Amino acid sequence: MSSCIDDLTEFYASLRLLGLLNPAKTEWIWFGSRVNLARIPERFRSLQVVGLTLSAPMLSVRDLVQAPLVVYLDSELSMKNYVNNIASACFYHIRRQFGLPASTLMPLQRTQNAAAHRHTTVRKELKN
């Protein structure tokens, strides 16, 4: 992995894109089940990026490729952090819109109802 990153750095430099890879802002993550992540040898728990050693991998990272939509990926791909961030943003907007007329809030209510309906449908499918 370190070798690939060094190659990318050289490639970016040849295109005069020196600031594209910033080791100080670089995050990395291993994906897998909890059991498999625990089995990763110690020598693979750090990464060299342009002479800088990045120690422990992150437990959650942002996928900036999907910008402007920010998707959070956790090491077990459970989507817990992503869902928590979406819920947090929803609560923020609900608090901001307190006191608005019902006609303004109706699209949010329809979205919430659709999500609740989908959730209960999936739970029924799982039980059968």
Enclosing domain of residue 8: 1-58
61: which strand partners? 73
- Whether residue 19 is contained in a domain is answered as yes
- Whether residue 37 is contained in a domain is answered as yes
- The reported pTM is 0.57
- Whether residue 77 is contained in a domain is answered as no
**Count of domains forming the chain:** 1
For 79, the token pair is 């989507």
- Whether residue 28 is contained in a domain is answered as yes
Backbone angles phi, psi at 72, to 5 degrees: -100, 125
Distance CA 52, CA 9 (A): 13
Q: Would you call the peptide bond into 23 cis, given omega within 30 degrees of 0 as the criterion?
A: no
Distance CA 76, CA 61 (A): 12
Distance CA 81, CA 58 (A): 13
- Whether residue 97 is contained in a domain is answered as no
Q: What pLDDT, in 10s, does the model give residues 9-64? A: 888 888 888 666 777 777 888 899 989 999 989 888 888 777 778 877 888 888 76
Q: What pLDDT, in 10s, does the model give residues 76-118? A: 988 888 888 888 888 887 777 777 787 888 888 888 888 888 8
- Whether residue 78 is contained in a domain is answered as no
